[in-house]
Amino acid sequence: MASLPVLDLRGKQSSKENQFVTILTKSPDATQLQVVKALYGKATPANVRALQKLQSRVRSKLLNQLYFLDHSDPRHLVSRRYELECLDQLHKVSILYAERDFKLSERLLQRCLRLAEAGEFTQYVVQSARMLRNLHMEQRQAIPYKKTVKVLLKAQQVLALEDEAEQLYADTQLALNGTVAARRAVLVLLPTRIEQLEALHRRARSFVTYNLAYRARLAYEELQGNYVEMIRVTAAASRRLREGKLNARRFDLRFNHFVSIYAYLRSRQPVQGLRLAEQYSRDFHPSSNNWFYFQEHHMLLALHAQQYERAQNLLAIIAKNPGYPNQLETALQRWDLYKSYLEFVLPPQRLTTARQRQMAQWVLQLPEYSRDKRGHNVAILVLQLLHFLRERNLEQVLMRLERLRKYQQRHLYEPTTLRSRLFLRLLQLIVEKNFEAAQAAERGAVLLEQLRDTPPPGEAFAEVEIIPYEHLWELVLGLLREGPPVPNDLVTG
């Protein structure tokens, strides 16, 4: 009896394939030796070869099961289901055409062409029309042949424009994902590239060219720190979608949601952004990485709105997601950093002394995320400073302040780093005023006002404020009111 091309995990018979999958499901970190022993009893060379063949079979069958994934959930990328429907039709047609079943091939190709045109999948319009043209040619159908050739030529022209736009956008995006220097360089070029993309869209009038110009526009506003404009642009796109002016089979509303709440966060409108984030979270599937990116900004909105218990509840939900441990190491480090900030600002009675010590130990071992100007370096050093202020450890407080001063000298000299520089100047005041909260608050009033009047910089230049600097300054003053830091021998004594 021939083996099924997919795994039958619900079958009554326990095959080696099913046993292998069960072992890996229960123990994903199992070594090859452990799996061989579990399946075959002994780790002989013959059994190792048998396992390798078994792995190959299981891998092939798992890949075959991709054909049966359900893409209808609206929380996934909306275009995926329609694109895969086109691919499914083309796959079937390729087989039928090779078998010379022209009648059924034509019917499926016409269906595929309609789907591709409705979804503005120009590459599939070209493929479908090309196959239809060849089919009509082979059957000597002159009238349908000429009609299809017109469709094909028009689609090829649009596809050429889309390819040009995609190349231009890809070149830009590569620079945007690069170093700060690369991002600064592309910022100068972006207005011209946006004009080029918009010109290509006027010629093509396709969703692809619209979307590339739209995303380039958002990237430009983000780099400049023009977050209010980002809110306006995303709101306008959502309105066009509701009015039927954008292709509902292609427009990624989740992307729009994400950009919108990000812009509310960066424009210092956390309460409004948090309200929208609660509403938008329904549109993100928990199994996707997009869900984690969205929830990261959702939680930051709660932190910026000083709704710390809400942030704690969000973090608990996020940590329970089965995909949480599978994120990149840098993402997991960010979550740990957010968690440490959150636990620090929660009311003291919510944390036990043992938990505080555990948190402090982790804080002191935090790695630097990047030596570049953009990142979490200031956030890490400030968190360490806050910890030692709470511990009232004078030597360690002075050490962290010195590290912050050196970091400022080396990395925070650009005009776009003004918010970070103002905050670090406030922190230096606590030493100048001998850790007297009232005097530091009075002396820092002008700096604090400047900080409040200084908008966040563009994304190309930003140090991440996990909690706004204004709120951190309030926290610092609160810690000083509890008592100034004292020499280490008095702390330990």
Q: What local confidence, expressed as pLDDT, does residue 4 receive?
A: 72
8 A C-beta contact, residue 211 and residue 198: no
CATH of domain 77-251: 1.25.40
Record the tokens describing residue 34, joined without a space: 């452990």
Bridge partners of 486?
A: 393
Q: What is the pTM of this model?
A: 0.81
Which phi-psi region, left, alpha or beta, contains residue 375 (left: φ > 0; alpha: ψ -120 to 50)?
left
* Apex 359 CA angle, 354 and 362, nearest 5: 130
Walk along the chain (493 residues) in steps of 10 and give the mean pLDDT of each run.
68 77 83 86 86 87 78 77 93 91 93 97 97 94 96 98 97 84 84 97 97 96 91 96 96 95 94 96 89 95 96 95 89 90 77 60 56 67 91 91 89 85 94 93 95 79 84 95 81 49
What pLDDT shows up at residue 7? Answer: 72
What 3-state class would DSSP assign to 225?
coil
Residue 37 structure tokens: 């022993």
Q: For residue 469, with 0-12 CB atoms within 10 Å meaning exposed, 13-18 middle and 19 or more buried, which class applies?
A: buried
Q: Which of 271, 279, 273 is nearest to 259 (CA)?
A: 273
Contacts 24+ apart (CB under 8 A), 418-421: 418/454, 418/457, 419/451, 419/454, 419/456, 419/457, 419/463, 419/465, 419/469, 420/378, 420/463, 420/469
Distance CA 474, CA 471 (A): 5
pLDDT for position 421:
92
Q: What are the extents of the domains in the chain?
A: 16-67, 77-251, 349-492
43 vs 53: CA distance, rounded Å: 15
Q: Where are the alpha helices (DSSP H) in 119-252?
A: 122-138, 142-176, 180-204, 207-224, 227-242
Res 372: pLDDT:
40
Closest CA to 401 of 419, 372, 422, 378: 378
